[in-house]
């Protein structure tokens, strides 16, 4: 967890770049694959749970997977729904936080549909919604009612911790 936080901070400061984050995330996942079976039956030590996916109509997942890896490496339980995720699938998986990603300007408006579906289901007040992706901005996030917007993986982890008061 500390190593992923360090690489994230270095990315934020411009000392390392996306390939460095990807390599670190791959190493972290490899280590977790070895360690998780050895830790079964022990007390769950996750600081929070994240549901993440790329919205319906969008099949891009490199950025989403990087953010998911950063979340996992920094102590969150991650439910990665994949790509082309419908609002129904987000709602059925909603636990604490939902993170939505879009790369296409044509699909980013689907984020609003997911937030509306959360409202209809009665879950909106129980979960926090974070959005990101190349065409997404803070102004867009506010306009659709998202709780937060971040522009990169490390900022997403920091914001998620703030949203759940874990920092």
- pLDDT tens for 1-27 read 788 888 888 988 999 988 888 888 888
Question: Which DSSP state fits 43?
Answer: P
- pLDDT tens for 41-91 read 555 678 888 999 999 999 988 889 888 888 888 888 899 999 999 999 999
Q: What are phi and psi of 78, to 5 degrees?
A: -120, 125
pTM of the model: 0.74
Q: Does position 166 have pLDDT exceeding 60, yes or no?
A: no
- pLDDT tens for 114-144 read 999 999 999 998 999 999 998 999 999 999 9
């Amino acid at each position: 967890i500390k190593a992923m936080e360090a690489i994230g901070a270095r990315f934020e400061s411009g000392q390392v770049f996306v390939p460095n984050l990807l390599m670190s995330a791959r190493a972290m996942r490899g280590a977790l694959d070895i360690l998780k079976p050895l830790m079964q039956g022990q007390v769950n030590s996750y600081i929070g749970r994240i549901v993440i996916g790329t919205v319906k109509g969008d099949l891009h997942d490199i950025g989403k997977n990087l953010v998911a890896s950063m979340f996992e490496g920094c102590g969150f339980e991650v439910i990665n729904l994949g790509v082309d995720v419908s609002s129904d699938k987000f709602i059925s998986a909603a636990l604490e936080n939902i993170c939505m990603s879009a790369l296409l300007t044509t699909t980013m408006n689907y984020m609003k549909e997911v937030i509306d579906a959360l409202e209809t289901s009665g879950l909106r007040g129980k979960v926090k919604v974070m959005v990101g992706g190349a065409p997404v901005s803070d102004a867009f996030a506010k306009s659709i009612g998202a709780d937060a917007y971040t522009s990169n993986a490390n900022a997403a982890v920091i914001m998620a911790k703030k949203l759940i008061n874990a920092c």
